[in-house]
Amino acid sequence: MLDQADGYMTADGRQIGPVVMEMKNITLRFGGVEAIKNISFDIREGEVRAIIGPNGAGKSSMLNVISGFYVPQDGQVLYKGVQRPQMRPYQVAQQGIARTFQNIALFEGMSVLDNVMTGRLTHMKTGMFSQALWKGRAEKEETANREVAERIIDFLEIQAIRKTPVARLPYGLKKRVELARALAAEPSLLLLDEPMAGMNVEEKEDMSRFILSMNDEFGTTIALIEHDMGVVMDLSDRVVVMDYGKKIGDGTPDEVRNNQAVIDAYLGVAHDE
Amino acid sequence: MFYREAGDFSTSYPEDSQTFPIRFDRYRYYLVLFVAIFVIPFTINDYWVNSIFLPFLIYAIAAIGLNILVGYCGQVSLGTGGFMAVGAYACYKLMTSFPEVSMLIHVLIAGLITAGVGVLFGLPSLRIKGFYLAVATLAAQFFLVWLFNRVPWFYNYSASGQISAPERTVFGIEVTGPNTEAWATYLFCLAFVIVSAVIARNLTRGAFGRKWMAIRDMDIAAEIIGVNPLMAKLSAFAVSSFFIGISGALFFAVYLGAVEVGEAFGITKSFTVLFMIIIGGLGSIFGSFAGAAFLVVLPVVLKLVGVDWLGWPTDIVAHLQLVIVGALIVIFLIAEPHGLAQLWRVAKEKLRLWPFPH
């Protein structure tokens, strides 16, 4: 079922498209340490792809390779079928890959609205002279992008804090604003690095709802790293499991859950009474 | 009570993103503009223009420029004096080479030349940050002053090594040289101030401002959302130097008339403008005005109170001024890093609720 090149339907009726991002034999070394060892996997359009594994398995390094922070020593990154040359992170962002960070990386001195608007920067092309004049092109562009940003703000239910400086917000809301900023870019691939770290059950439920409905409504392709197995198994269509920089499992949540190598390395076994 | 925004609704995004979304603010701004354009020129004399208005207006442009670089983009610069000197000398060379051209054009081109020089000295900012960048710009400061002192071409081989502004006109009215009218120089500088402030505001509220602030707040996150750090930093250096160059040109041609580079555009000038934006407020256009006004008016008031009323010796008052400014810098950095502009914002928030704070 999974090897159909043009995609397939999921059990709940969502259309999964062809492969957007393909990682081929990626190897990443820091000096003598091999953080990622010869890993290949792909991400299909419209799916929720999870990367799991114990601490230090190389999950975040993998995300950093995708978003251009790290350059792998070996292997190829194919984006939309084209091999990607070595790129700076901002060029990767301009190609339509957005991400959030494990430790929040918001612009603390700016308001929530301005933060979300920074997500639109890749779509704003007006030159400096029109900007200086403001009336005309710059204002029109600003308004058009503001509309998109406001749609995201509505969607993530942060209207009330629109004008609040980010520095004043609690942790859970900051996570949501960061998600809003990434989503505002209308990315063709969204990378989430532990979107639910440090949240209570209620906040996790909210966040899961947002992830599912943005996948549903906007058709956003999502790759996420998460430690909460309940969340991962419920949300994702396919799961990659990493351990010590190696891939030890790849497949649907059910396949992964029953994979002996994954159970040994990460999931553990339930003790029968 | 005095400051109400209840019932003042924005019904469109352009309305919400305008400079003064609150009606009360907007009217006050129009009032200030009206007084500045139609009242002050008819009531001022030479003393007021030379001791308060010209330095205030010219420093305000420099402060706006430096604030874009330091306050918005987070790149510390100690080269302001050097860049002002570039503006002044560019203006001087233009004035003497093309005597018949309007002064307006000279000043604008001087600004553009300074923007180019600013970009050149901004290049190290890609590799170095914070203190180290400050030192690199300090090198620019000393190098530029040295250059204008040592290369006679810049001061047209004059015997004194000074440059002095010849008489030049705008629309047939003299704005430089010894025979200028107070209102003419005032309006000439005011025009530049208004245009600079509007441009700075338009840039900082739109995409460019967000790029700069993103770089300031967290450069890694800025890069991950698609901001090219090279372009963002260099554009900040260019815009900042453009304004600083204009202020340098005006400072030389309109305000001082004759300039010796080390004295007029030395390292103290860099610090003066930096103090203005620290006291006024980093990352605020209004703060640039507040800081410039404060540091220009303070010596005048001190002299008035100290020398004229209390009869103290002039040197004591002059030293007192240094002490007060130094103490204020320390106090502002500790108690209110966002300067007078933040105090003003807090006062407005209080006024919204006053006299019923609940």
Q: Which residues of A touch B119 (CB under 8 A)?
A: none
Confirm if A154 and B21 have CB atoms less than 8 A apart. no
What confidence score (pLDDT) does residue B27 get? 85
Query: How many whole angstroms separate alpha carbon B218 and alpha carbon B229?
Result: 11
As a whole number, the mean pLDDT across chain B is 89
- Does the beta-carbon distance from A121 to B13 stay under 8 Å? no
Say which range, A9-13, B84-88, B162-166, B185-189, has the weakest mean pLDDT: A9-13
Coil, strand, or helix at residue A19? strand
Q: Output the six-digit token pair for A164.
A: 């609040």
Confidence category of residue A239, pLDDT binned at 50, 70, 90: very high
Mean pLDDT, to the nearest integer, of A102-125? 91
Cross-strand bridge partners of residue A36: A28
Which residues of A make CB contacts under 8 Å with B? 67, 69, 88-90, 93-94, 98-99, 101, 105-110, 114, 117-119, 121-122, 124, 126, 128, 131-134, 138-139, 141-143, 146-147, 150, 181-182, 185
- ipTM of the prediction: 0.89
Question: Which of A88, A146, A185 is closest, CB to CB, to B225?
Answer: A185
Amino acid at B321: Q
Say which range, A34-38, A131-135, B114-118, has the weakest mean pLDDT: A131-135
Q: What number of helices (H) and strands (E) belong to chain A?
A: 10, 12
Coil, strand, or helix at residue A111? strand
Segment B307-327, tens digit of pLDDT: 888 888 888 888 888 898 889
Confidence category of residue A1, pLDDT binned at 50, 70, 90: very low
Q: Output the six-digit token pair for B124.
A: 């190290």
Whether the upstream peptide bond of residue B355 has omega within 30° of 0, thus cis, is yes
Q: Which residues of A touch B225 (CB under 8 A)?
A: 90, 93, 98, 118-119, 121-122, 181-182, 185
Q: A2 pLDDT exceeds 50?
A: no
Query: How many whole angstroms separate alpha carbon B12 and alpha carbon A69?
Result: 39
Confirm if B297 and B77 have CB atoms less than 8 A apart. no
Instruction: Using a CB–CB cutoff of 8 Å, tell me whether B338 touches chain A.
Output: no
Whole-number percent of chain B with pLDDT over 70: 97
Q: Domains, chain A, ranges and CATH?
A: 8-96+187-267 (3.40.50.300), 111-173 (no CATH)
Q: Output the six-digit token pair for B141.
A: 């400061």
Confidence category of residue A3, pLDDT binned at 50, 70, 90: low
What confidence score (pLDDT) does residue B238 get? 96
Instruction: Using a CB–CB cutoff of 8 Å, tell me whether B281 touches chain A.
Output: no
In angstroms, what separates the C-alpha of B215 from chain A's closest C-alpha?
9
- Does the beta-carbon distance from A106 to B221 stay under 8 Å? yes
Confirm if B119 and B241 have CB atoms less than 8 A apart. yes
> Is residue A32 exposed (0-12), middle (13-18) or buried (19+ Cβ within 10 Å)?
exposed
- Tokens 């062809």 correspond to A18
Give the B window 221-240 contacts with A, CB below 8 Å: 221-229, 235, 239
Mean pLDDT, to the nearest integer, of A65-94? 91
Query: How many whole angstroms separate alpha carbon B234 and alpha carbon B222?
Result: 15
- Does the beta-carbon distance from A93 to B203 stay under 8 Å? no
What confidence score (pLDDT) does residue B291 get? 93
- Does the beta-carbon distance from A121 to B211 stay under 8 Å? yes
Q: B304 pLDDT exceeds 70?
A: yes
